[in-house]
Structure 1
Amino acid sequence: MQANNLNLRWKLKTFENLTPTELYALLRLRSEVFVVEQNCVFLDMDNKDQFSYHNMAFIGEELVAYTRLIPPQKVYPYMSIGRVVTSPGFRKKNIGRILMHESIQTCYTLFGKAPIQIGAQLYLKKFYESFGFVQSSPVYDEDGIDHIEMIKQPDSV
């Protein structure tokens, strides 16, 4: 089953407008993947959620994909997409591609057509390149996982 058959329902909220149930769901999904699945002990709650937009995809009442959209000058000089995550039970359904497309378009709507900068896990380099992101830093270690910074110009892909 592909994502277009799954009836994805999108919600975009600021931190202040998240319900307790939505906040719990997004923190749980991030913890499930970034801490448990990737066996990476780190503090996910990094004081960036408060000034970010939270882009959530639901199927029914279940959060199946999420990104955090960060305004320019908060983390990087450019706007940023972070905490890109798809629920393990919903992988191989093209949701990750739809999530990134939706996140890029939402960034342009929120912050204008300008470059987007991300800190990406190295093994996902080709995935992000397919959206027009280009590596902009050497490989660096973040919490035991190889990462790179990447930038997408607004006219690429």
Structure 2
Amino acid sequence: MTPREWRCEALDAMGPRALYRVLKLRSEVFVVEQQCIYLDPDGLDEDAWHLQGLGEDASGGEIVLAYARLLAPAFSSPGHGVPGTPGAHASPATAPPPASQPAARIGRVITAPSARGTGLGRTLMQEALAACARLWPDVPIELGAQAHLRDFYGSFGFVAVSDVYDEDGIPHIDMRRESAAR
């Protein structure tokens, strides 16, 4: 399955149906499939850019095949509820120290179950990095990766900046890429 269109837009531009489709996919995977009971709408969506890979279902309706949430450096600094930072899911003892330069953040990275195994995750990350480079040129990017995906994100230039920590029962590791423009 290949997206017919990529959109990167602020919440105000999405419209209620698009927002519903994004939140539904996030809940299907992060809450139900991964069995993590947590409040997914965490207050950051209103200030984020929402990258969506859109396709069509069997009846011709629009579906979200891939998604990532992009946060500006001002909203991804420690204390803003970003996983892996103090005040979020990770305990302060396991969270990394604040980076010297604020970074953009890619989060809520997801590929729909129907599109897995197609290489769409790699395309999604390429689109996310390109969007970050357009929105915040020459700014580092961080993400909180599930630990088993460390090599996947490493293939995009991300390096570990924390030890593995538990987030909602799933091992995670914080990673950083020094520039969105690379």
- Interval of TM-score (by shorter of Structure 1 and Structure 2): over 0.9
- Is the 1:131–1:156 contact (alpha carbons within 8 Å) kept by the matching residues of 2? no
Flag the 1:7–1:36 CA change in 2: closer, same or farther, 3 A.
Answer: closer
**Structure 1: distance between partners of 2:35 and 2:124:** 24
Partner of residue 8, structure 1? 4
Q: CA deviation at 1:89?
A: 0.6
Partner of residue 70, structure 1? 71
After superposition, give the CA deviation of every residue in 1:34-83 in whole Å (9 maximum; x if it has no partner).
Answer: 01111111110100001100000011311100000000021232001000
- Is the 1:116–1:153 contact (alpha carbons within 8 Å) kept by the matching residues of 2? yes
After superposition, give the CA deviation of every residue in 1:123-143 in whole Å (9 maximum; x if it has no partner).
Answer: 111110010100001111111
Report whether the alignment pairs 1:36 with 2:29: no
**Structure 2: distance between partners of 1:19 and 1:156:** 30
Paired AA for residue 145 in structure 1 = I
Partner of residue 110, structure 2? 85
Structure 1 gap segments, 5+ residues each: none
- Is the 1:132–1:156 contact (alpha carbons within 8 Å) kept by the matching residues of 2? no
Q: Which has the larger Rg?
A: 2
Flag the 1:38–1:17 CA change in 2: closer, same or farther, 3 A.
Answer: same
RMSD: 1.5
Paired AA for residue 63 in structure 1 = V
Paired AA for residue 65 in structure 2 = V
Report whether the alignment pairs 1:141 with 2:166: yes
Report whether the alignment pairs 1:97 with 2:122: yes
Paired AA for residue 34 in structure 2 = Q
Partner of residue 122, structure 1? 147
- Is the 2:137–2:181 contact (alpha carbons within 8 Å) kept by the matching residues of 1? no
Question: What is the count of residue pairs matched by the alignment?
Answer: 153
The TM-score, its normalising length taken from structure 2, stands at: 0.80
The TM-score, its normalising length taken from structure 1, stands at: 0.92
> Which of the numbers 23, 27, 42 marks the counterpart of 1:27?
23
SS at match of 2:31: helix
- Is the 2:143–2:176 contact (alpha carbons within 8 Å) kept by the matching residues of 1? yes
Paired AA for residue 117 in structure 1 = E
Regions of 4+ moved over 6 Å = none
Report whether the alignment pairs 1:152 with 2:153: no
Paired AA for residue 95 in structure 1 = L
